[in-house]
Amino acid sequence: MPALIQLSNLAKVYQSGDSEFAALHDVNLDIERGDFVAITGSSGSGKSTLMNILGCLDSPTRGSYLLSDRDVAKQSRIELAKVRNEFIGFVFQNFNLLSRTTAAENVELPLIYARVPPAERHRRAKEALERVGLGHRAGHTPSQLSGGQQQRVAIARALVTRPPLILADEPTGNLDSATSVEIMKLLTELQQSGMTIVFVTHEPDIAAYAARKLLLKDGAVISDLRQKPSLKEAS
Amino acid sequence: MISIGETLRLASRALRRNKLRSFLTTLGIIIGVGAVIFIQSIGEGAKSRVRAQIESAGTNIVMLFSGASQGPGGRGGAGSQPTITWEDLRAIQTELPSVLAVAPQINSNQPVISETNTWNTQITGTTPDYFVIRNWPVSSGALFTASDQASAAKTAVIGQTAAENLFGPGVDPLGQIVRIRDAPFTIVGVLERKGQNAMGMDQDDGLYIPLSTFQTRMQRGLGKFVPGRISISAVSPEAIGRVRQEVGQLLRERHRLGPDDEDDFSTSSMAEMTSMLTSTQETMTLLLSAIALVSLIVGGIGVMNIMLVSVTERTREIGIRMAVGAQPTDIMMQFLVEALVLSAIGGALGVIFGVGLGKVIAPKFGWIMETKTQIVFISLAVSAGVGIVFGLYPARKASQLDPIDALRYE
């Protein structure tokens, strides 16, 4: 089975006036299904740009990106929206939950855009919240939840569509170390249940949870380290 | 695109979140629609009042005048040159089945002297059919008769206002003698009260005498020609057009007019009069409605303004929605439906406000309110249209946001 993510000669160039700035150049990268990948690097290394492209929020300037064998490098906005809805779950540093909206409704959001009927939506949202250990907090709004709980709601939202890929951008960046450990344990559980997880971090102890650690510098992958066997190798 | 029900639910939720703001935004629409409804209702009421007044003069009436209404060389106005004979009149009466009755009438303002008072009033010389045409019975006594007409008898039928002014209130005018140009007339009947006509003239201030008497006493007769205007009543309102056409044909034949000759008579119908008088009212209503419509547009700009604020405020929400898979159309519809709901609710409240305002104000000024369902629906449609037109730009703006920028927006 081919890799879930296949990047070849991927480049992203920003143009401002006459000068060009390459945020990424010639990235070649495969990420297997079920892998747990940390992307690290200093700020300005291109890791955010890479995450945006992986998440189909942005398109590369050159090169190809195959996600689940589908070429998503040159898709329209509408197609990209469909891909995000179907194949990707996002977890953000600042949680990005809708305020004044209950946890359950936040989790349901992707299902609305997947045209899932309401009854089915409620059921799946409840299921996802239970999976992250927040079944009893379904009716709470983000302001009534702690940071860690909010991030759990966000993770529930990311997995409610059962996407093959979960992308987390500094998922523990706004959390204390104890809560960070909880969140990383939760992500590890999800990976062990078969999901592919790619996350960005600049903290070495958080990156240590990953099976594979990538180091970016000046828009290129300069180190690719397998820390633990991937699911495929383990089995 | 997600379902309309889902979009509606999203929109009503967003609006409920900012109740005061939503209400203040719709206020512009409420006032605009309210004003349109109010003005239209008052205008419609005034129009039907005019119509009722004109109809009080008698429906189905066609007026026939001697002479052309227009012509070369500044020929005198209608009725200035007698061309219609008594024979013509009889022919109209007997030969045309769509004609119910025919009555000539001629007026003159004269002082009328009773034992106690002198009163200047309008004397009308006519035939008994006149009261049939105008559907005007007596409240006491009787009308003068065909034989009075034939013998030029000095009998008179009096209107209520004239009677009160000549004899004083509470005095029975029947049998009283009044003098007009030194000739004594006996009051044989008192007409029912009819009120003002469309021009605001008191129709009850008048005295009616046989046309033959009028001609001998007031104005020398011209023998074979019929003086004054002639009222013709059609058998039904639908027959009015036919009556005008048939009368025209008959008179042209009788006057032996060639195909190139102009008519030496003219006709006009009450319908024409009605449309002439109501057209002024309509112009006025139209003008005021246009002003009210401007306020509706101002209300629409208010909606656009608040939607733009809302899009900016909710940039991050838009980013989140896009990240989890909302398509540009989904975002656009969300905001468009929000604007639409906002202005449609404003429109509905505006209808209530307009009708309520009319109910409070109209009685104080003696106005009549007549709210047409048609206007209500048009107003609702226009306010919904305003919502769509003014919601389109903010909604488009929202849908074209870049998800990455939107997510980063603080």
What single DSSP character describes residue B128? Answer: T
How far does chain B reach from its first CA to its final CA, in angstroms? Answer: 28
What single DSSP character describes residue B241? Answer: H
Residues of B with Cβ-Cβ distance to A100 under 8 angstroms: 17
CB contact (8 A) between residue B327 and residue A52: no
- B16: nearest CA in chain A? A100
Annotated domain spans of chain B? 4-53+275-408, 99-237
Cβ contacts below 8 Å, chain A against chain B, sum to: 58
Residues of B with Cβ-Cβ distance to A57 under 8 angstroms: 322-323, 403-404, 407
Where does B176-265 have alpha helices with state H?
A: 211-217, 240-254
Question: ipTM for the complex?
Answer: 0.94
For chain A, give the mean pLDDT: 92
pTM of the model: 0.73
Residues of A with Cβ-Cβ distance to B325 under 8 angstroms: 81-82, 84-86, 110, 113-114, 161
φ/ψ of residue A95, rounded to 5: 65, -45
Residue B116 neighbours by CB under 8 Å, 6+ apart: B166, B167, B168
What single DSSP character describes residue B225? Answer: B
Q: Which of B344, B338, B340 is nearest to B313 (CA)?
A: B338
Residue B217: the pLDDT is 79
By the 8 A CB rule, do B297 and B386 touch?
A: yes
CB contact (8 A) between residue B326 and residue A81: yes
By the 8 A CB rule, do B188 and B232 touch?
A: no
- Mean pLDDT calculated for residue range A41-63: 92
Distance in angstroms (rounded) separating the CA atoms of residues B123 and B56: 20
Could you list the pLDDT tens digit for every one of the 410 residues in chain B? Answer: 678 888 898 888 888 888 999 999 999 999 999 999 998 898 888 888 877 777 666 668 888 888 754 444 444 555 556 788 888 888 888 888 888 888 888 888 889 998 888 899 999 989 888 888 888 888 888 888 888 888 888 999 999 899 888 888 888 888 889 998 888 999 999 998 887 776 667 888 999 999 888 888 776 655 677 777 888 888 887 788 888 888 888 888 888 888 888 888 888 887 777 777 778 778 888 888 888 888 888 889 999 999 999 999 999 999 999 999 999 999 999 999 999 999 999 999 999 999 999 999 888 888 888 888 888 998 899 899 999 999 999 999 999 999 999 998 87
Taking CA A160 as the corner, what is the angle to CA A128 and CA A4, rounded to the nearest 5 degrees? 130
Distance in angstroms (rounded) separating the CA atoms of residues A53 and B324: 15
CB contact (8 A) between residue A78 and residue B327: yes
- Mean pLDDT calculated for residue range A133-142: 94
- A158: nearest CA in chain B? B324
By the 8 A CB rule, do B386 and B33 touch?
A: no
- Mean pLDDT calculated for residue range A93-106: 94
Helix (H) or strand (E) holding B280: helix B270-313
Residue B72: the pLDDT is 43
Residue B221: the pLDDT is 56
> Of B2, B6, B404, which is closest to A57 when you measure between CB atoms?
B404
CB contact (8 A) between residue B2 and residue A98: no
Residues of B with Cβ-Cβ distance to A150 under 8 angstroms: none
Helix (H, G, I), strand (E, B) or coil at B152: coil
CB contact (8 A) between residue A109 and residue B320: yes
Q: How confident is the model at residue A159 (pLDDT cuts 50, 70, 90)?
A: very high
Q: Which domains does chain A have, with CATH numbers?
A: 5-234 (3.40.50.300)
Residue where the block lists tokens 């066609």: B62
Distance in angstroms (rounded) separating the CA atoms of residues B384 and B350: 12
> Of B17, B325, B328, which is closest to A84 when you measure between CB atoms?
B325
* DSSP states of A112-131: HHTT--HHHHHHHHHHHHHH
Contacts with B, A 49-78, CB within 8 Å: 52, 55, 57-58, 77-78
Residues of B with Cβ-Cβ distance to A114 under 8 angstroms: 325
Q: Which of B105, B121, B108 is nearest to B164 (CA)?
A: B121
Distance in angstroms (rounded) separating the CA atoms of residues A136 and A124: 15
Residue B75: the pLDDT is 47
Residue A182 neighbours by CB under 8 Å, 6+ apart: A148
For residue B314, the one-letter residue type is R
Which residues on neighbouring strands pair with residue A22, listed in sequence order?
A13
Distance in angstroms (rounded) separating the CA atoms of residues B332 and B353: 31
Residues of B with Cβ-Cβ distance to A142 under 8 angstroms: none
- What size, in residues, is chain B? 410
Cα B100 to Cα B85, B107, B231, distances in angstroms = 19, 23, 11
Distance in angstroms (rounded) separating the CA atoms of residues B40 and B289: 7
- A53: nearest CA in chain B? B404
In a mutational test of the A interface, the residue from B15, B318, B324 whose CB has the highest number of chain A CBs within 10 Å is B324
